[in-house]
Structure 1
Amino acid sequence: MSNVLTFGVDLMPMSMPSSKLQPRYALVVLDGDKVVSRFENVSRMKLIRLLWKFKPSMIAIDNVYEFASSNSKLIRFFRYLPEGVKIIQVTRVLGGFKPLPLLARDYGLYDGGGKLNPIMAAELSARLAILGVGSEVSYLKGETRILVCRGRRIGEGGMSEDRYERKIRTSVYNVAMNIKSTLDSKGFEYDVFFNKRGFGIDRCLFIVYASKDSLGSLIKNIDLGDVQIRVFEESSQKILFKPIGESKSNITSGREHLIIGLDPGIITGLAIIDLDGKLLYVNSKRNWSRNDIISEIMKFGDPILIATDVHPPSSFVVKMASILGAKIAEFGRSLSISEKREIISRYVEDCNLNLDLNVHEKDALSAALKAFYGFKTLFSKAEAHALELGFEGSHKALRALLIKGYNIKQAIEMLMELKSPKESVEIEVENSSVKSSLDNKVIEDLKRRLSLEEEKVKNISLQRDELMLEVSKLKAEIERLNSILNAMSNELNYKLKKDREIASLELRLNELQSHYLNIKSECETLRSKVENWHNFFLSVIKGEIIVLKYVKNLTVDDVNNSIRTYNICRGDVVFISDFSIFEVEALKKLLDVGCSCIIGFSPPKHVSEAFEDLEIPFIDASSIQLKFFEGYPYVNANVLKDSLIKARNELMEKSSIKRREKFKQLFDEYRKMRLKELEKLDSPL
């Protein structure tokens, strides 16, 4: 059969998808604009058989929940359909709902007269879908997560710890690559997240967008000793609506149009702004799946533009844009760190915001803002032109069309067309069968019945005239009573006005008293803060306490920010808040500016080793009674002095031991070399 067929479907009267009996449908099959077939009282199973027989490109309906009464049952129905058939709900236009008769009238397919029967509704749905009206209905596929990780804890053993750790990481990498090859060979769609370490990986997570059953025996839970594989399923019942065209009914919507910023990876950053540049959401999560991100986005509206800071966009971003029906912002290059920092600083200053973002959230937000700023000049120009033409519609709808690629003239014309009246065009509906002739007896009977009906009409007309006269009398009485009511109402309003003025003054007095108490409370709070600051500052001047210079993470960005903010210089003691993110270059930067000591809570082993290698004294914060005042860390001066001397002595001792061991190693190597040379000299020629 042709692959350009379109099915139009509508639920028959007295039929419900939630009923125990199979629902019945009216079905119209179109080949282009031509009606091929019409069916009535089609059961759901017969509808599915017809779909497999004709294999149309689209099946259109005014409400997709006429197929099934819940999301889970609707998804089950979708799975019975042939591959490639699109389900279109024509009444869903960019997140909003518009009744089928109004849509058909807008497109000149229906004159608005009379009630639509199921066959007419089915045909109108099909014709609207062909015109690009409505939204494609799909669902988020269930996820199967495959976790590959180490099976044994790395510790003491016959093999050196470093070699054993490399062996396990290499094993995890090899197993993960085998799983990847299996998924690729079978054509599964998936995302993969992993922590790379040296020549191997610590762990790897595959998020496969298919059910666990579909994987069959390909991948199972298994423990391989050094490596273990865990497979678990997360189901989804989310229904998605994606606009299928840029028709005039898809221009405006009750839902917000969104610009999305994405920074995919092990930790994925997500930022959502509207078309005014207002920040609606920003967050980051580890192993954030495509389905969960889509669910989060759909809470806020409909995305029309997706941006990322990396060029070219990753396959993850391309897939997301395809699923959501959004364009990808093209910058032509990757955004530099300085450019992203400048974009966010400008935005925070313009909007007077106080944002505490990690690097992934910054990357996502800067990409979204870069895309938004790229359209600002076009937005201003278009809105000024629209104002000159007297257009008073939604400026966000105008911006949405510009983002979608329309020029200013086209966008304004489309929006103004929505305001203008629509012409109605009648649609002809074929009668199934009409008799060509009637016998004389039937004609006489019809004439007699017509005469009786005409007599009834005359009687009804007389009754109507009498009732109209009575209505005129009642209208006159109503006008008289209204005049009396207005006079009484004016008098009552005068009295009420005085009462309102008194009540308003009393309310104002209560507000002023409440405001006074609030100001008084704020003054007491500020007075207490000033006293605390005075005592704190006095302790600093006396040298009783030492205020530490604050650095959030041991990253180059955070260290540079703290150097600029707190003027970290030679002899300063620095407090590190979080060691979970560590860059050696950041530690070297602190060493270059002359940092005398670092204080923090329980750094990881590799960070402690870096302190020793670079010979930077470290003091555990729990041993010196570290305190905070208004977010600033400080410690008793004498305690810090003693702890610093102790830390330096311990560091010198460790360094001395390392140097002696190094010297001994060199001496032993030299001794062995000399012994070999002497043995060669003593051996006979």
Structure 2
Amino acid sequence: MKVFGIDIIKGSIRSRTRRPVYALARVEDGDIGDVEEVTGFRLQRLLAAEEPDILAVDSLQEIAADQRELYAFLQTLPPATRLVQVTGGERTESLGKVAARYNISFNKFDPYAEALTTARVAALGAGVEVIAFENTTDVVVSRHRSPGRGGWSQNRYARKIHGSVLQKAREVEGRIRGAGLTYDMKETKAFGGYSRAAFRVRAPREMVPVHSSRSADVQVRVTGRELDRIRFEPLSGRPRHLIVGLDPGTTTGIAAVDLDGNLVLLTSSRQMTMSDIVEELYRAGKPLIVASDVHEMPYSVEKIRRAFNAIPYTPKQSLSVEAKYDLTAPFSYTNDHERDALSAALDAHRSLQNKFRNIAKRVGQGYDLDEVRARVLRGQPLDTVLADLQGAPVAKEEERPEAEAEPERPVEDERVMALDGMVKRLRSYVQELQEDLRERDREVERLRQDVRRARSATERRIRRDAELAAKDAAIESLREQLRGERRRSRQLKKRLERMQKVAKLEVSDDHTPLKVLDSLTREAVRALQEGIGISGGDVLYVPKTHGWGRGVVKDLAGTGVRALVVGEGSPDPHLIRIARESDLPLLPADAVGADIQGRTGAALSRIIDEAIAEWEEGQKEFRREKDAERLEYLFKEYRSEREKEVRRGG
């Protein structure tokens, strides 16, 4: 098989002034030829002359600026030459990744090395074939020149051209019919033959035994019928090996990654049977490993694994939700089932990364690493695998595996899948509950430590607060005592001032000091006693006698008060009688001419003495009356007793 690989050295396909110059590398039956520099025109000549099996590029943008130019370029290729884009079709990847899949390294900045690498990986089966035409070919036989205006020989000239077209059309029809191809023919008759004959052959262009050509009078154009949209078909029929993760249940999650960890398939559905799952995986590739995210593989996952004869993988312990989130962080998914399936596939791939790196170090260039890794994982020695693959042709498409389904019991299969999903969810729920329980135990222990620390701190704070409270109480008590002492000090100062004032008055010979009593009650007497004091020989002044009592008068008389000056009008007769009984002089203020200033006052000593003398005269008269009343009472008592005795003595 001959393969051409090209890469642009300079210029651009979009430029009209600087047309591209390509590096052209040849690989034929595994032998690497020289790499040369060619122009676009020179490339077309070499393709037409050598008719390689494959023209390999790493990007279609290097040969055509748009779809129209791509169709035109493909029309110029020899029928047997296929255009291959080695970096993929709808979803492309870098040439470095494709080359790494075959353990090939190259200088990415050298277009000659890129052209050679492109040819090598295409020869090994990498890439996709660009399909731009239907399986229908149009063959048009027409005049190569126009009859135009002529002279006397015009009719003979036109008859000659049309006869040549008719003859060429019959020749083309004979070749198509001889190849056993079906076709439709539409001819346009003209003077002396055909002016045009069109054939629509129901076969691809490479199967039509006619080529585009031209002569003096006739031209033949062979073109494929263009597709509405360009298709890409894998060059190799071998399906790619996959690591599949499954999450069974009422909603089934399916995920598949290739051996490099790239996401290939991620889907979920509530209506997928086991045969539908097998069909979906078959379209994506060939499952090499079937993985589950729980330690014990569910029965339905095991059945799907057996359908592909895949290698089972289960983690040492069921994956936690946090581990699933960490594994699937770079990817997007729509529900938890897709997340669980994807985490199972990625966990299986992660467990094999070290083995894959060791295999890549031991494998030389030019081997399909996916196939090598797949065979090694299935237990074949690496040397045996390399010997088998050396010079091995590209494998044809493998037969589709049939699922180990039980068509007579589809309902039970679905029930098994649902029960597997339920068991998985319950185990996951139990695991979450156990994790929650451990977390709660840790939280309880942490809270207990916090309580112990808080209790110790509280006890210290309580002791400190109690000490502070005791000290605060002592301070408050001392403050209260201080306030009391200050009040007492102020009272004593006032008392001292009044006493000094009274003392000054006492020193005077012509004035007698008066101590003011607020009212004639025991409370007022007690207040005056605490204020400036009451001692024997004092003269008291009371502005009003409301609320007086016998006991107050007797108490004042008992203290040895010299006299009591009454400020309001005439005193109450009862008060006068009690005062005379207690021998307490009761003097009206008008009679003594009292001069009151605040809590003290003064009166002339002479007037006080005269008033007291006058009271004493009245007191003597009061005593005589009292004595007379007592004698009269005694006489009456004696008389009454004698009368009683006389009556008794009869």
Do they fold alike, i.e. is TM over 0.5?
Answer: no
Look at both structures and tell me which one has the larger radius of gyration over its CA atoms. Answer: 2
**TM-score (normalised: structure 1):** 0.28
